[in-house]
């Protein structure tokens, strides 16, 4: 058997990090089974025992080693973001950013830096569904030539809280409740909404989570954000504030909540599988890195505080400048060794980049190293292959559990003369890291600037920037989330907060929850305040945003027309017209879409002309929610069989209800007669609404490709009446 050769980077293209990892890669193909000491094992089937029916012997070092290792296989999962998926790749700078930062990896056009990226959900445990309504983590480790730089971001640009000291409360409130560990991977329970309703600063992020952003279509189709404002420093010491953005080349897309719930049952690894399969097929994953730059002197020009992590800078005010591209092109060889053991830390920065005084970021700088100590078992986690920098590493840190490095020499202190002063400090001109010498003259206090008290204006901006279809989803998401809680007073408090965002939104949510919306004022906004503080200091500021809406906040205006890696189901049965299958398949795959044959049974189906087609999925193991679009090829017998198959009919109902592109060739449209959607299809302008009913040769393929590129057709009427 040949040793496994990973798809992705060929040996000649291998990055320095890949060559570094190669030293640790192990492949047992054509090798003997051995103990950890390298002793070849002759019998892996039986424990050493006293006779055939006698007791096992303690001296069996082979058994003991194997069992002991197994007994210790588990490590604690991450306290947040435990479920994730990772991939290797490369970052390539588009242009030199030297004018603004001395960071070497951004210093010249075309410069390449290896990366490892991990996407994650936040709340669910390691084995939970990918489709939870949640924030997604988007953490990138750049192995730069000046040391590792970690950009540990999320797919939502704002956070729940303004101060790190509230993080344990937030996480306790959102995780399963402590007495019975219910519910899993969801915020839809009393504790979270109780907390949120008392933390008005969370309102903005909540608006994002209840929108489609909380249920992405794919890790490859979501934006990423650094969230905090960071500082860039150039060689002259000049500061520029930056906000980071990752823009997916395939656009930003989501699923609907009804789909998310069903996918969670059918394929809880949906996002994990999607990422893995795309890379495995050579469909590498691309994100452009963008920055919003604000000169230091403009820090106070905005009607919000740049240090407040519950605020974004609207793109309409400061455009995003695209400065490079990340391409994820290689799956990990081993999930645990790489994806589980990778240790991100916002404190891993390189010269040219620095922190701001965002109080959330400041707290994170403590938490990440602290958590790795328990999660990865000690202070030497930087020596685990996936975490090691490619930049040389020398210092006087020594010992500790699982030390990998063999530090040579007599000297382990500094200053020293015995070792000639080595390793020596680096001058700034030689790349030595120097913190930005910000002037601070302050009293020690526990308080926050009043400029942080605008809790609602950007939540309103977000809501008002959504299309009608997106607003509808937000309203029904609130109705679901708040409908799941038991305490009426929490619901009312939340609706009270929503009145600050948009009255009509609050009214519709209240209606769905079944309580009358008060004509008069709702109860005042409540907030956790320090014991001796004056609650007036926490009252919301009434800030008017400079703009009323910003298109970049709606997903409607994302990239369209690209159907690469979109999943299209072909509904077929015995007797299908083989040419109808082949010509559509050819047209779609030429554009990069993925086609799966879905049929009543696994194995093969026969075509009208006696040929055979391999089935990818049976109706028993599949469903419309796993696809972006579906096509029904012609073939009288095939259509006749599908008509009698309830799962096939349900497939169509769901696809229609979820506003996906549909194509039916020739007599295939007869299948509509067996469905509930026949009269709905009649009442709409089919093509405009993504239902293509044509014969081959009349532009069927092109029209279908165009429709898939539109992703969803919100104008379909009465979809809520479809029994699916
Ligand atoms: Fe994290 N966060 N976080 N977080 N976070 C962790 O670190 C923490 C925050 C983010 O794929 C933990 O290694 C605090 C914001 C990602 O391995 C922990 C606060 C953002 C990941 C931790 C925040 C993030 C983490 C758990 C508030 C977006 C997964 C395991 C002060 C900008 C990284 C670990 C991966 C993971 C602490 C808030 C992103 C406990 C205290 C804001 C993507 O250290």
Digit-coded pLDDT (tens) for 316-348: 999 999 999 999 999 999 999 999 999 999 999
Pocket residue to mutate for ligand 1, from 136, 173, 367, most atoms within 8 A of Cβ: 367
Q: Is 229 found in the same domain as 97?
A: yes
Q: Is 668 found in the same domain as 632?
A: yes
Distances (CA, A) of 331 to 115, 145, 348, 385, 387: 12, 23, 24, 16, 16
Measured distance CA(312)–CA(417) in Å, rounded: 51
pLDDT band with cut points at 50, 70 and 90 for residue 524: confident
Q: What is the pLDDT of residues 54-76, one digit of tens each?
A: 999 999 999 999 999 999 999 99
SS3 138: strand
pLDDT of the residue at 11 = 45
pLDDT of the residue at 527 = 86
The number of the ligand 1 atom at minimal distance from the alpha carbon of 366 is 41
Sort 573 into a burial class: Cβ within 10 Å, 0-12 / 13-18 / 19+: buried
Last residue of a domain, one of 556, 571, 602: 556
Q: Is 369 found in the same domain as 252?
A: yes
Facing residues of 291 across strands?
244, 321
Residue nearest to atom 16 of ligand 1 (CA): 137
Q: Is 573 found in the same domain as 551?
A: no
In a domain, 301, yes or no: yes
Residue nearest to atom 11 of ligand 1 (CA): 118
CA of 379 to the centre of ligand 1 (A): 19
CA of 402 to the centre of ligand 1 (A): 25
Q: Is 685 found in the same domain as 625?
A: yes
What is the reported pTM? Answer: 0.97
CA of 181 to the centre of ligand 1 (A): 22
Tally of domains within the chain: 3
Work out the percent of the chain whose per-residue pLDDT is above 90.
91
Facing residues of 138 across strands?
119, 153
Residue nearest to atom 3 of ligand 1 (CA): 364
Last residue of a domain, one of 387, 404, 425: 387
Give the binding-site residues of ligand 1, using a 6 Å CB cut-off: 78-81, 84, 118, 120, 137, 139, 152-154, 159, 164, 167, 227, 309, 344, 360, 363-364, 367-368, 371
Pocket residue to mutate for ligand 1, from 159, 167, 364, most atoms within 8 A of Cβ: 364
CA trace torsion 312, 318, 320, 323 (10° rounding):
-110
Average pLDDT over residues 207-229: 98
Last residue of a domain, one of 339, 371, 387: 387
Q: What is the pLDDT of residues 222-251, one digit of tens each?
A: 999 999 999 999 999 999 999 999 999 999
Q: Is 570 found in the same domain as 530?
A: no
Q: What is the pLDDT of residues 254-288, one digit of tens each?
A: 999 999 999 999 999 999 999 999 999 999 999 99
Residue 219 CB partners (closer than 8 Å, separation 6+):
85, 119, 136, 271, 274, 275, 285
CA of 368 to the centre of ligand 1 (A): 7
Rounded (5°) CA angle 273-279-285: 105
User: At 581, which helix (H) or strand (E)?
Assistant: helix 578-590
E strand map for 427-578 = 567-571
Instruction: Using the predicted structure, report yes or no on whether residue 158 has a pLDDT greater than 80.
Output: yes
pLDDT of the residue at 684 = 82
pLDDT band with cut points at 50, 70 and 90 for residue 10: very low
What is the full DSSP assignment across 21-77? HHTT----TT---B-TT-PBPS-SS---BSSTTSPBPTT-HHHHHHHHHHHT---PP
Answer yes or no: is the ipTM higher than 0.90.
yes
The number of the ligand 1 atom at minimal distance from the alpha carbon of 309 is 42
Instruction: Using the predicted structure, report yes or no on whether residue 619 has a pLDDT greater than 90.
Output: yes
Q: Is 465 found in the same domain as 378?
A: no
CA of 163 to the centre of ligand 1 (A): 14
pLDDT of the residue at 68 = 98
CA of 167 to the centre of ligand 1 (A): 10
Residue nearest to atom 43 of ligand 1 (CA): 137
CB 448, CB 163: distance < 8 Å: yes
Say which CATH number the domain at 127 has.
2.40.180.10
Q: Is 594 found in the same domain as 471?
A: no
Q: Is 572 found in the same domain as 552?
A: no
Measured distance CA(477)–CA(467) in Å, rounded: 15
Q: Is 276 found in the same domain as 157?
A: yes
Instruction: Using the predicted structure, report yes or no on whether residue 131 has a pLDDT greater than 70.
Output: yes
Pocket residue to mutate for ligand 1, from 137, 199, 376, most atoms within 8 A of Cβ: 137
The number of the ligand 1 atom at minimal distance from the alpha carbon of 342 is 17
The number of the ligand 1 atom at minimal distance from the alpha carbon of 163 is 31
pLDDT of the residue at 2 = 65
pLDDT of the residue at 686 = 87
* Strand arrangement, sheet containing 661-665: 617-618, 594-599, 567-571, 629-632, 661-665, 691-694
In a domain, 444, yes or no: no
Residue nearest to atom 32 of ligand 1 (CA): 153
CA of 54 to the centre of ligand 1 (A): 53
Average pLDDT over residues 115-133: 98
The number of the ligand 1 atom at minimal distance from the alpha carbon of 371 is 44
What is the full DSSP assignment across 710-721? H---TT-TTGGG
Residue nearest to atom 31 of ligand 1 (CA): 164
pLDDT band with cut points at 50, 70 and 90 for residue 3: low
- Residues designated catalytic: 81, 154
In a domain, 67, yes or no: no
The number of the ligand 1 atom at minimal distance from the alpha carbon of 159 is 42
Q: Is 596 found in the same domain as 514?
A: no
CA of 179 to the centre of ligand 1 (A): 25
The number of the ligand 1 atom at minimal distance from the alpha carbon of 139 is 43
Residue 91, phi then psi, degrees to nearest 5: -110, 135
Say which CATH number the domain at 502 has.
1.20.1370.20
Work out the percent of the chain whose per-residue pLDDT is above 70.
98
Residue nearest to atom 38 of ligand 1 (CA): 364
In a domain, 108, yes or no: yes
In a domain, 7, yes or no: no
The number of the ligand 1 atom at minimal distance from the alpha carbon of 154 is 28
pLDDT band with cut points at 50, 70 and 90 for residue 4: low
**Mean residue pLDDT across the chain:** 96
The number of the ligand 1 atom at minimal distance from the alpha carbon of 225 is 32
Residue nearest to atom 29 of ligand 1 (CA): 81
In a domain, 445, yes or no: no
Measured distance CA(346)–CA(226) in Å, rounded: 10
Q: Is the dihedral of CA 552, 554, 555, 559 positive or negative?
A: negative
* Residues found in the chain: 724
CA of 495 to the centre of ligand 1 (A): 29
CA of 202 to the centre of ligand 1 (A): 17
In a domain, 416, yes or no: no
Say which CATH number the domain at 581 has.
3.40.50.880
Pocket residue to mutate for ligand 1, from 81, 122, 345, most atoms within 8 A of Cβ: 81
In a domain, 597, yes or no: yes
CA of 360 to the centre of ligand 1 (A): 11
Range of the domain at 523: 456-556
Q: Is 616 found in the same domain as 498?
A: no
User: Of residues 3 and 711, which shows the higher confidence score?
Assistant: 711
Measured distance CA(354)–CA(436) in Å, rounded: 7
Instruction: Using the predicted structure, report yes or no on whether residue 12 has a pLDDT greater than 60.
Output: no
């Amino acid at each position: 058997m040949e040793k496994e050769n990973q798809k992705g980077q060929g040996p000649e293209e291998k990055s320095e990090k890949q060559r570094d990892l190669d030293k640790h890669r192990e492949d047992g193909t054509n090798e003997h089974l051995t103990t950890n000491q390298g002793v070849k094992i002759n019998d892996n089937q039986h424990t050493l025992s006293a006779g055939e029916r006698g007791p096992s012997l303690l001296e069996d070092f082979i058994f003991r080693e194997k069992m002991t290792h197994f007994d210790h296989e588990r490590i604690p999962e991450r306290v947040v973001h435990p479920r994730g998926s990772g991939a290797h790749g490369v970052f390539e700078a588009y242009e030199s950013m030297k004018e603004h930062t001395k960071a070497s990896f951004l210093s010249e056009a075309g410069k390449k830096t290896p990366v490892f990226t991990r996407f994650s959900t936040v709340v669910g445990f390691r084995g939970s569904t990918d489709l939870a309504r949640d924030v997604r983590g988007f953490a990138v480790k750049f192995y730069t030539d000046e040391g590792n730089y970690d950009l540990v971001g999320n797919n939502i640009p704002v956070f729940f809280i303004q101060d790190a000291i509230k993080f344990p409360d937030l996480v306790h409130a959102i995780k399963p409740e402590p007495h019975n560990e219910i519910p899993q991977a969801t915020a839809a329970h009393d504790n979270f909404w109780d907390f949120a309703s008392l933390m008005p600063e969370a309102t903005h992020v909540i608006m994002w989570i209840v929108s489609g952003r909380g249920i992405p279509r794919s890790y490859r189709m979501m934006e990423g954000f650094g969230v905090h404002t960071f500082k860039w420093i150039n060689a002259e010491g000049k500061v520029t504030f930056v906000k980071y953005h990752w823009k997916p080349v395939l656009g930003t897309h989501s699923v609907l909540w009804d789909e998310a719930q069903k996918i969670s049952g059918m394929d809880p690894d949906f996002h994990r599988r999607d990422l893995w399969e795309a890379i495995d097929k050579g469909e590498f994953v691309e994100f452009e890195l963008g920055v919003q730059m604000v000169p230091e002197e403009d820090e106070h020009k905005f009607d919000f505080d740049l240090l407040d992590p519950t605020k974004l800078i609207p793109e309409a005010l400061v455009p995003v400048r695209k400065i490079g591209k990340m391409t994820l092109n290689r799956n990990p060889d081993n999930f645990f060794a790489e994806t589980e053991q990778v240790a991100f830390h916002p404190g891993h920065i390189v010269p040219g980049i620095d922190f701001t005084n965002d109080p959330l970021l400041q707290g994170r700088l403590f938490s990440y190293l602290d958590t790795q100590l328990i999660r990865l078992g000690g202070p030497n986690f930087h020596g685990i292959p996936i975490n090691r920098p490619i930049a040389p590493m020398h210092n006087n840190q020594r010992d500790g559990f699982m030390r990998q490095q063999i530090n040579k020499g007599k000297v382990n202190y500094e200053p020293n003369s015995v070792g000639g002063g080595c390793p020596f400090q680096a001058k700034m001109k030689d790349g030595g890291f120097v913190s930005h010498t910000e002037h601070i003259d302050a009293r020690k206090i526990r308080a926050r600037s009043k400029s942080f008290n605008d809790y609602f204006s950007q939540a309103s901006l977000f809501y008002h920037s959504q299309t009608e279809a997106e607003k509808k989803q937000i309203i029904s998401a609130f109705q679901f989330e708040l409908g799941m809680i038991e305490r009426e007073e929490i619901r009312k408090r939340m609706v009270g907060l929503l009145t600050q965002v948009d009255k009509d939104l609050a009214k519709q949510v209240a209606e769905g929850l079944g309580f009358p919306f008060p004509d008069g004022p709702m109860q005042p906004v409540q907030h956790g305040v320090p014991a001796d503080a004056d609650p007036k200091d926490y009252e919301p500021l009434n800030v008017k945003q400079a703009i009323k809406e910003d298109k970049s906040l709606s997903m409607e205006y994302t990239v369209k027309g690209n159907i690469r890696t979109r999943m299209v189901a072909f509904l077929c049965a015995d007797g299908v017209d083989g040419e109808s299958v082949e010509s559509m398949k050819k047209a779609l795959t030429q554009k990069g879409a993925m086609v799966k044959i879905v049929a009543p049974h696994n194995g093969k189906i026969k075509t009208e002309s006696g040929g055979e087609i391999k089935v990818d999925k049976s109706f028993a193991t599949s469903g419309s929610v796993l696809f972006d679009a579906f096509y029904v090829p012609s073939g009288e017998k095939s259509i006749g069989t599908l008509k009698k198959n309830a799962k096939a009919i349900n497939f169509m109902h769901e696809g229609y209800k979820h506003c996906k592109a549909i194509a039916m060739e020739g007599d295939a449209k007869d299948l509509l007669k067996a469905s509930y959607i026949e009269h709905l299809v009649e009442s709409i302008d089919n093509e405009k609404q993504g239902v293509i009913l044509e014969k081959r040769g009349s532009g069927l393929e092109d029209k279908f490709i165009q429709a898939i590129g539109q992703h969803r057709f919100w104008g379909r009427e009465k979809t809520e009446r479809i029994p699916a």
